[in-house]
């Protein structure tokens, strides 16, 4: 795992001020974590993004999908989900450099350098900061772990599922979107 060593946790403000040569990093609990995605990781993240983007463009006012974009979630946490979606009401300005609140949907695809963070620390921070839905795509097991709040603004993720091959991934956030997991995991 690639982690830039520090003697103390750095803050989000310090992180944003750094001149990092490569911006494939995240700040997790005050540590800079370098994302080292595989080709399969990129294929799957790209496909999820393309499907959500297509869904957004099918009708007006469906929000916007993004590939990694900094999401400032706390004093020591700046994440860059592999794919994220924000509703129309929460779309950032065109010139925005980051989001200063959780998106409506965050998708994290398994990467050797970030997976343990995704499953534990990041999931907890996403939940505590009000993220409505989180997908953890496990490319080693060909499954998607889905965590969501059953009611908007609920205090915690209280609905979850694990979906694998032979299933379709859907969400009440994006009505009509259905991702065939056989097709997704064949990438």
Output the DSSP codes for 123-140.
Answer: HHHHHHTT-SEEEEEETT
pLDDT for residue 7:
74
Digit-coded pLDDT (tens) for 10-65: 999 999 999 887 668 999 999 999 988 999 999 999 999 999 999 999 999 999 99
Confidence band of 1 (pLDDT split at 50, 70, 90): very low
Q: What angle do CA 28, 31, 37 make, to 5 degrees?
A: 65
Return the residue matching tokens 């609140």.
101
Digit-coded pLDDT (tens) for 52-87: 999 999 999 999 999 999 999 999 999 999 999 999
Q: Is 0.85 surpassed by the pTM of this model?
A: yes
CA distance 29 to 120: 11
Domains of the chain and any CATH numbers: 36-185 (3.90.1570.10)
């Amino acid at each position: 795992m690639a982690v830039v060593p520090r003697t103390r946790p750095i803050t989000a403000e310090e992180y944003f001020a750094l001149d990092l040569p490569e911006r494939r990093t995240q700040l997790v609990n005050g540590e800079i974590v370098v994302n080292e995605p595989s080709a399969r990781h990129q294929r799957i993240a790209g496909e999820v993004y393309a499907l959500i983007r297509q869904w957004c463009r099918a009708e007006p006012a469906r929000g916007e999908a993004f590939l990694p974009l900094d999401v400032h979630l706390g004093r020591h946490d700046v994440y860059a989900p592999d794919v994220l979606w924000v509703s129309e009401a929460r779309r950032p300005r065109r010139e925005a450099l980051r989001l200063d609140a959780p998106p409506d949907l965050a998708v994290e695809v398994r990467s050797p350098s970030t997976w343990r963070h995704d499953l534990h620390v990041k999931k907890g921070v996403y939940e505590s900061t009000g993220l409505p839905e989180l997908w953890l795509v496990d490319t080693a097991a060909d499954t998607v772990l889905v965590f969501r709040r059953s009611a908007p603004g609920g205090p915690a993720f209280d609905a979850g599922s694990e979906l694998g091959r032979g299933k379709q991934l859907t969400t009440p956030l994006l009505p009509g979107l259905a991702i065939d997991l056989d097709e997704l995991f064949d990438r």
